[in-house]
Structure formats: structure tokens, C-alpha cells
Amino acid sequence: MIVDCAIYREGKRSEGPQDFSDALDEARSARGFVWIGLHEPSADEFDLVAQEFALHPLAVEDALKAHQRPKLEVYDDSLFVVLKPVVYEPRSDTVSSGEIMIFLGDSFAVTVRHGEGAPLKAVRDRLEREPDLLGEGATSVLYAVADAVVDHYLEVATELQTDLEELEAEVFTPDGGSRNTASRIYDFKRQILEFRRATGPLALPMTRLAGAGTFGAPVPFVKDGARPYFRDVHDHLTRVNESVEGLDRLVSDILSAHLAQMSVRQNDDMRKISAWAAMAAVPTMLAGIYGMNFEHMPELRWEWSYPVVIVVMAVLEVLLYRLFKRRGWM
């Protein structure tokens, strides 16, 4: 359950004691903070952490059940933030999301991760190489995790853009793509929707953390000196959301264009079928008339009746063919 536990003081790491309460007391006495990283803890395993750090029961319930939207909630003794890191698999064109819950309080940060994507070891290593950033206290953990998640959003958006351009090129080929192109476009739109569920709701929490004045009092447990960092994350997230919105519009336009192309091709096919049917109707009509075998019919006993009828059929067929060809039906 416990991936890592360490105390940070003056920008440097020291291993924390096994007892969470002792680790928190030691961090507070040294004016540092303790960071505990957890991965998919069970209810019994997380109960000890919740008791030692006085985490709110509602936030604990959300952290255990997962399947939360990105959000920021303020409680008396802690701040609760939910982030949804995403992973894109280009081979299968699928977007999957995990969850990272962050509890931030007085001299502590607790991260709870669900899913295999977005491990936090790289984030921890980065922070430990930046003592100035660690000097912002537990707030630096929230910033570093949010920054890593949002920066990966940018990478996923770029990969989606590349794959969408390939799909667009396939749609606008002369043959209009394969039979399952419409299905691929629809699946791609669903992946963008999954991506949007992770990025869209995060805009308001990042705005609050950045210290926008329209959202009332500053967020507790977030140092004022860290707000410029969150403004940078907010700017990146805005770029991501604009990119996702553009991707969503583009894939809708591609689907509309593909359906329009299919309709045009079907109309062309129907015109060709109608043209061939009209050409087949002329000899069928003449053959039907002269096949009625009435006793008194013009030209039945004429020596040249048969070749004349054949010639008339051929001439009419040529005239119809030229007419349909000129109109683009053939």
C-alpha cells in the first residue's frame, strides 16, 4: 500500500519513521512536511492514515471508491484535490484514465493513486532535485503532481492530433476510406470525450489554486508564494482544453464530411444504376412489342424487319449512352 514515506525539511529529504503520528510530529517540529504516497489502499489500510492525519470521512470515502471527477474540496483540517491522469495507446486509439487524490494539510501531503498510469516516483524525484520548490512546503507536492498531470495532457493532445490527421487523410482519399471508417471516427470521438472528462472539470480547481479574485478567499493550506506556479499550470490546462475542444469539433466535421461523401457516392451509384436500367429498358421494350406474336403487326413479314429493329436498338443505346455520359451519370 505505502509506496513511499519521507520527511522534507529545508528542501532536503530524510526517511520518515514507520509511525505516521511520529512522522507528522517530527515534520512539524522541524518546520518541514511529511509526504506519504499510497497506491490503491484498502479501507482497513487507509483507516490508520485517515485517523493519524484527521482526514474528513467524506474525502476518505471518495479516495477509496475512486471514480471521481476532478475537483477541489476544502475541509477544516485539510484540502482534498482529485486529478485524473490519462494514458493514450496509439495502437488501439484508446484513452484511459486513472485517479490521483491529494490530501494537503498542516505539514503533510498524502497522495492516493488508483490505476497503473502516472506513477509519482518521477514527480518525487523532480521535487527532490529542486530544493527551492520544496521550500514551499506541502504545497509543492500538489503543484508538482498537477504540473506533471497537465503536462502529460499536452503530450496526449499532440498524439491525438497526429492520429486524427491520419484519419482525416484516410477519409479524403478518392475511395473515402474503408468500410469501418465511420466506426473508427465514432470511436475516436468517444476517446476525445473520455479525455475531456479529465481536463474540463479541472479548470475551476486550477483557477482557484491560481488565486483568481472572483472565487473569494484564498484556498487554505496553499502558500501565497506557490500561486505563480499554479498560474503556470492553469495556463497549460487552458491550452489543453482549447486543443481538446478543437479536436472535438474537427472529428465532428470529419464524420459529417465522411457521411456526406458516402451519400454522394451512393447518389452516383444510383445514377449509374438508373442509367444502365434505362439503357436496358429500350431493347426490352422493343423486344416485348415484337414478341407479342399478333397476326397483324407492321413489318412482321418484311424481309428486313429483324436487322432494322436491331439497328434501331443499337442507335438508341448509343444515343442514351452519350446522353448519360455527358451528364456524368456513366
* Contact by Cβ (8 Å): 137, 107: yes
Provide the pLDDT for residue 90: 74
SS3 (DSSP) at 7: strand
SS3 (DSSP) at 15: strand
DSSP secondary structure string for all residues of 71-116: EEEE-SSEEEEEE--EEEETTTTEEEE-EEEEEEETTEEEEEEESS
Instruction: Give the model's confidence band at 59: pLDDT under 50 very low, under 70 low, under 90 confident, else very high.
Output: very high
Provide the pLDDT for residue 245: 92
Instruction: Give the model's confidence band at 56: pLDDT under 50 very low, under 70 low, under 90 confident, else very high.
Output: very high
User: How many CB atoms lie under 10 A from the CB of residue 205?
Assistant: 21
Provide the pLDDT for residue 216: 54
What would the grid cell of residue 113 be?
493513486
Q: Does pLDDT of 149 surpass 80?
A: yes
Which pTM was predicted?
0.77
From the options 3.40.50.720, 3.30.460.20, 3.30.230.10, 3.30.70.420, give the CATH code of 2-262: 3.30.460.20
Q: Does pLDDT of 65 surpass 70?
A: yes
Chain segment 218-248, per-residue pLDDT in tens: 788 888 888 889 999 999 999 999 999 999 8
Q: Does pLDDT of 215 surpass 60?
A: no
Distance CA 223, CA 276 (A): 79
From the options 2.60.120.200, 2.60.40.1930, 1.10.4160.10, 1.20.58.340, give the CATH code of 266-326: 1.20.58.340
Provide the pLDDT for residue 163: 86
* Contact by Cβ (8 Å): 244, 199: yes
Provide the pLDDT for residue 318: 80
| Helical (H) or strand (E) element with 195 | helix 181-199
Pairing of strands 99-105, 33-39: unpaired
- The rounded mean pLDDT for the chain is 83
Instruction: Give the model's confidence band at 17: pLDDT under 50 very low, under 70 low, under 90 confident, else very high.
Output: low
Provide the pLDDT for residue 202: 93
| Domain-wise residue ranges, the chain | 2-262, 266-326
SS3 (DSSP) at 8: strand
Distance CA 125, CA 14 (A): 13
Q: Does pLDDT of 296 surpass 90?
A: no
Chain segment 250-277, per-residue pLDDT in tens: 888 888 887 777 777 777 777 777 777 7
Which range has the worst mean pLDDT, 76-85, 112-121, 216-225, 291-300? 291-300
What would the grid cell of residue 315 be?
442507335
